């Protein structure tokens, strides 16, 4: 799952079967520091409640299609939740950096 901000909505009058009644959002993926990352993407709103300005989490690929009421619809991204609260700790350290922090064993 990834974090994003909803920056808009998309209206499509012609849809593939299985996408009827699904709302589409324009979302801006975010980094760990909540800064924009990459280009905005179109995502189906699996929670049917997200709107512009909200912090959401989304999935991509097969997981996105499985999040929809009709399974295996042709979508690449789906918003699967709205963030109520977020607490981010320090980034994890791995390898030699982690050993230096712990000290000798």
pLDDT along the chain (105 residues), means of 10: 96 87 95 95 94 96 86 90 90 70 60
Q: What is the pLDDT of residue 90?
A: 84
What is 2-102's CATH topology? OB fold (Dihydrolipoamide Acetyltransferase, E2P) (2.40.50)
Q: What is the pLDDT of residue 99?
A: 60
What is the length of the chain?
105
Q: What is the pLDDT of residue 35?
A: 96
Domain ranges within the chain, ordered by starting residue? 2-102
Q: What is the pLDDT of residue 43?
A: 97
In our burial notation (b when 16+ CB lie closer than 10 A, e otherwise), range 14-32 reads eeeebbeebbbbbbbbbee
Q: What is the pLDDT of residue 79?
A: 97
What's 7-30 look like in SS3? Answer: EEEECCCCCCCCCCCCCEEEEEEE
Q: What is the pLDDT of residue 83?
A: 96
Q: What is the pLDDT of residue 98?
A: 57
């Amino acid at each position: 799952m990834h974090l994003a901000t909803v920056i808009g909505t998309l209206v499509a009058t012609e849809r593939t079967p299985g996408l009827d009644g699904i709302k589409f959002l324009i979302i801006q993926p975010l980094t760990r520091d909540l800064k924009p990352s990459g280009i905005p993407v179109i995502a189906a709103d699996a929670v049917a409640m997200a709107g512009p300005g909200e912090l959401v989490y989304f999935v991509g690929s097969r997981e996105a299609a499985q999040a929809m009421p009709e399974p295996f619809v042709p979508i690449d991204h789906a918003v699967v939740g709205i963030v109520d609260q977020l607490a981010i700790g320090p980034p994890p350290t791995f390898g030699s950096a982690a050993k230096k922090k712990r000290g000798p064993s």
